[in-house]
Amino acid sequence: MQRRRSWAEPFKIKMVEPLRMTTRAQREAAIEEAGFNTFLLRSRDVYIDLLTDSGTAAMSDRQWAGMMLGDEAYAGSENFYHLEDAVRHVYGYKHVIPTHQGRGAEHILSRMCIKPGDFIPGNMYFTTTKAHQELAGGRFVDVIHDRAHDSTLEHPFKGDIDLAKLTSLIDRVGAGKIPYLCVQCNVNMAGGQPISLANLREVSALCRRHGIRVFLDATRAAENAYFIQQREPGCAGRSIRDILLEICSLSDGCTCSAKKDALVNIGGFLCLNDDALAEEARNMVVLYEGLHTYGGLAGRDMEAMAIGIEESVEQDHMKARIGQVTYLGEALMREGVPIVKPIGGHGIFLDAARFLPHIPREQFPAQALACALYVDSGVRAMERGAVSAGRNPDTGQNIFPKLELVRLTLPRRVYTQAHMDVAAESVIELFRNAPKVVGLRFTFEPKHLRFFQARFAPVTGARVLLTEDADAPVSRCCCGAGGCRENG
């Protein structure tokens, strides 16, 4: 019988960043101070930071060496040309316009293409993407296949677009009201779920027939390409590079946050194949980001990005990256923790509605779970449920999306398997003590992207997690019955 063989990361550690250990009492004070919003915690109070995979990657020695080669010229920086070459080489588009991060590119694309009253279909919303579409006067329409909204359903390509939904939107509003289709690769809010090449080919052909442009959100397109290689019939022998080029060839351009796949701490880009549109984008980038050869970035940032883009499509890197996410997910599944299935690309998504069935949706179970996890172990996660979804612009009512999730997002090349074990044990412990977690209510609600800066309070008591510690006077009482006056 063949014995299972372990594998490990394809890198070794050259520099370490010490972490501060905290006590439960310190964490309780910190989360209260942060208004029960993990975004408002100070990073020094966090042990394992799984808030996001955005801008949190460890750069390679080559990227750091590249930082020393920054050509900080205002115009025509050498690093811009390296970046342009890398993006053309790996993504295959004609025009490359750097931006300070993904939302900078989204802003420019939305402003250029969307007129008030337009509709922008997409495979599930992403917060900043939808916000920029709405600011430009458009309305986002979700055309992802329904299975993406079911956390229990196993399907290899839950990012796929439902052609019937897209066709019915075109029939209803007319192609003239649809400036473009926005296709997200490895759909973030669905749990990091990929779109298949087969679906993308069909969608792209449909849009071409109607004269509708297709723009990718290529933020996690390399991870999507890996899933296609692993799961799509006929793709097993193809390289990530080759698949990524085909994905991009099915679109007219992309927005991209380089803070994810591309392994940098800051940066993004907008790509376009159309010359006239690219000219307009270059005009606009000067207003909002900076000259078209730096787009809000330092030369050194562009150099690190150029190198990171090439590293992002290496097979060994991607195998370890997705492998670590799978390792954490499988540890949780073995204990019956409800997570989005199948395990996605950039993190594990806890199904908070099933994890905490005693907390009504109006009391934001995912927000409460993220806070309870932090209190338990110093692991910081992110709410991806009703708080993130915001309010319906017409009615002002809270939107309650089908998925009420907590995202444990894995930074690239940062944490070890031992960190994953600690995170898994904490989630499992909480799952066993789930009834002790209490819901939350808003005490402050910002107008835009409310999840970033909102503040909350527990609906009962002062703590989100009513743990043994919180119950201390009862359990530690000398008479054992919790009623002893002497020892309080």
Beta bridge partners of 141: 121
Residues 6+ apart with CB under 8 A from 208: none
Least distance to ligand F0G from the beta carbon of 102, Å?
3
Residues 6+ apart with CB under 8 A from 104: 268, 270, 285, 288, 289, 295, 296
Residues 6+ apart with CB under 8 A from 85: 306
Secondary structure class of 180 (helix, strand, coil): strand
Find where tokens 């997200």 sit. 184
The structure tokens listed for 106 are 């989204």
Secondary structure class of 410 (helix, strand, coil): coil
Q: Distance between CA 305 and CA 263 in Å, rounded?
A: 7
Burial 403-430 (b: 16+ CB within 10 A, else e): bbbbbbbbbbbbbeeebbebbbebbbeb
* Helix residue ranges, H only, 92-147: 102-113, 127-135
Among candidates 165, 166, 221, which has minimal Cα distance to 188? 221
Q: What angle do CA 332, 430, 33 make, to 5 degrees?
A: 125
Least distance to ligand F0G from the beta carbon of 317, Å?
19
Measured from the CB atom, the residue of 213 and 259 that comes closer to ligand F0G is 259
Least distance to ligand F0G from the beta carbon of 87, Å?
15
Residues in the chain: 488
Measured from the CB atom, the residue of 268 and 295 that comes closer to ligand F0G is 268
Measured from the CB atom, the residue of 294 and 434 that comes closer to ligand F0G is 294
Least distance to ligand F0G from the beta carbon of 284, Å?
17
Measured from the CB atom, the residue of 300 and 463 that comes closer to ligand F0G is 300
Q: Distance between CA 442 and CA 459 in Å, rounded?
A: 9
Using CB positions, name the residue nearest to ligand F0G: 102
Measured from the CB atom, the residue of 101 and 204 that comes closer to ligand F0G is 101
Q: Distance between CA 106 and CA 129 in Å, rounded?
A: 6
Measured from the CB atom, the residue of 22 and 188 that comes closer to ligand F0G is 188
Least distance to ligand F0G from the beta carbon of 29, Å?
26
Least distance to ligand F0G from the beta carbon of 335, Å?
26
Catalytic residues, which ones? Answer: 74, 126-127, 217, 260, 384, 451
The residues that touch ligand F0G, with contacts defined as CB under 6 A, are 52, 54, 101-103, 126, 128-129, 184, 188, 217, 219, 257, 259, 268
Measured from the CB atom, the residue of 121 and 268 that comes closer to ligand F0G is 268
Least distance to ligand F0G from the beta carbon of 389, Å?
14
C-alpha distance from residue 377 to each of 86, 355, 418, 422, 455 (Å): 40, 18, 14, 8, 21
